Amino acid sequence: MNDFSLKKYPKQIITAAVILLIVVVLAILKPGEQELLSRTSPEMQKLIEADQHSSRKRVTVTYNSLLVINYASLSTSGAKEMSEKYVGFLGNVYPADEGPAKIAGQMVNYTYRMLGVKENLMHGAKLTILLTTLTVVFGILLGTLLALGKISKRKILSKLSGAYIFFFRGTPLLIQMFVVYFTVPGIFGFAWRDLFNASDAEAVYKGAFLAALIAFSLNSGAYCAEIVRSAIQSIDKGQFEASKALGMNYAQTMSRIIIPQSIRRMIPNVSNEFIMILKDASLVFAISLMDITTISKNIMTSEGSYLVFIPALVIYLVITAFFGFIFDKIEKKFSVYE
């Protein structure tokens, strides 16, 4: 990160500082939670009061705070729906039942829900990022082993690796995930949920996440194997011969000469694979996990608002931009070997 020094990029630093300052000022000026909720109408207050004496909750109080703007809503569902919505911005509280304030409020609420703020790690953007990152890490590790197996001179090893890659690239990820989540426990008589503390209400989701991670990693391993293999085979044959001449054995040649050079050639493809997995992560809806896409579809079903897809796209782009930046850096770093 050498090139981020103040001397080299004064403009960027200043821009960032100014933006940060504006954000901080706006965040400070934003009205507080109490201020937003104090606007509640007497009828709603009565309903909230009634809720406290009943086992049945009717009013849902929502408070979302997103950097510079916040949103509060009190709503009852049911046939005669009642709702009150407020948006707080720059020291003012606006009723958000119609007009621009309504759209702003919706955006805050949707973004908040899709980011999975205040939720556990298996929710929203956190789930997507965690699953994608772990999958790529495990995928590359598994892929390297498979690639070495496939180019190995031992026939059995080579055939086995080839068969693995053929199987996982030749079948859809969704079905692989179903098999891992439903079929495997069915055959071996265990439940993913039981791998976690049974008294934990989240155990089901943890089990589903583990199953998804295993399916994604096994699948990604097959794709990464081909990436690693092609990168290794793109290194000039002369390098193998030179290493041999220097008295290195196969393991030494691979680990010290070939693989370090091939990493740079892998990065663009791994980056590609990363982005593919990021989007494939939405398949986890099928085993009950709530990622960005699932949450946005869910919001559309219940509110019929097509606006929800705009923040969803922005969140995806921000994640892609962030990781694209990191892959760029890694690629530059490994370019020294070329």
Partner 1 sequence: MKKKILTAMCCMLTVAALAGCGAAKEDAADSAAAEKAPTIDISDATLLSDGVLNVGCEVGYPPFEDFADDGKTPVGFDIDIITAVADKLGLEVNIINTAWDGIFAGIGVNYDVACSAVTITPERQETMIFSDPYINNYQAVVLMADDDKQISSFNDLNGMSIALQKETTSDILMSDYKSTGTIDVQIVANEKITSCFTQLQNGEVDAVVVDSTVADGYINSSDDFKIAYKDEAEAEQFGIAIGKENTGLQTAINQALKELEEEGYIKETYDYWFGAAAE
Shortest Å, Cβ 35 to partner 1:
13
Measured from the CB atom, the residue of 2 and 55 that comes closer to partner 1 is: 55
| Rounded Cα–Cα distance for residues 225 and 140 (Å) | 7
Shortest Å, Cβ 103 to partner 1:
15
CA dist list (Å): 213 to 76, 177, 208 = 37, 9, 9
Measured from the CB atom, the residue of 20 and 242 that comes closer to partner 1 is: 20
Measured from the CB atom, the residue of 108 and 222 that comes closer to partner 1 is: 108
| Rounded Cα–Cα distance for residues 293 and 302 (Å) | 14
* Backbone angles phi and psi of 129, in degrees to 5: -65, -45
Measured from the CB atom, the residue of 114 and 263 that comes closer to partner 1 is: 114
Shortest Å, Cβ 241 to partner 1:
42
Shortest Å, Cβ 231 to partner 1:
26
* Amino acid letter, 96: A
Measured from the CB atom, the residue of 144 and 293 that comes closer to partner 1 is: 293
- Name the residue among 244, 239, 274 with its Cα closest to residue 260: 239
| Rounded Cα–Cα distance for residues 273 and 145 (Å) | 17
- Name the residue among 67, 132, 109, 134 with its Cα closest to residue 320: 132
What is the SS3 assignment for 246-313? CCCCHHHHHHHHHHHHHHHHHHHHHHHHHHHHHHHHHHHHHHCCECHHHHHHHHHHHHCCHHHHHHHH
Q: Could you give the angle at the alpha carbon of 321 between the alpha carbons of 289 and 216, nearest 5°? A: 35
Measured from the CB atom, the residue of 111 and 161 that comes closer to partner 1 is: 111
Shortest Å, Cβ 52 to partner 1:
6
Contact 299, 308 (CB under 8 A): yes
What is the SS3 assignment for 183?
Answer: helix
Shortest Å, Cβ 285 to partner 1:
6
Contact 78, 131 (CB under 8 A): no
Measured from the CB atom, the residue of 178 and 334 that comes closer to partner 1 is: 178
Shortest Å, Cβ 234 to partner 1:
28
DSSP code for 157: H
Measured from the CB atom, the residue of 273 and 291 that comes closer to partner 1 is: 291
Shortest Å, Cβ 167 to partner 1:
23
Site of tokens 């559309």: 300
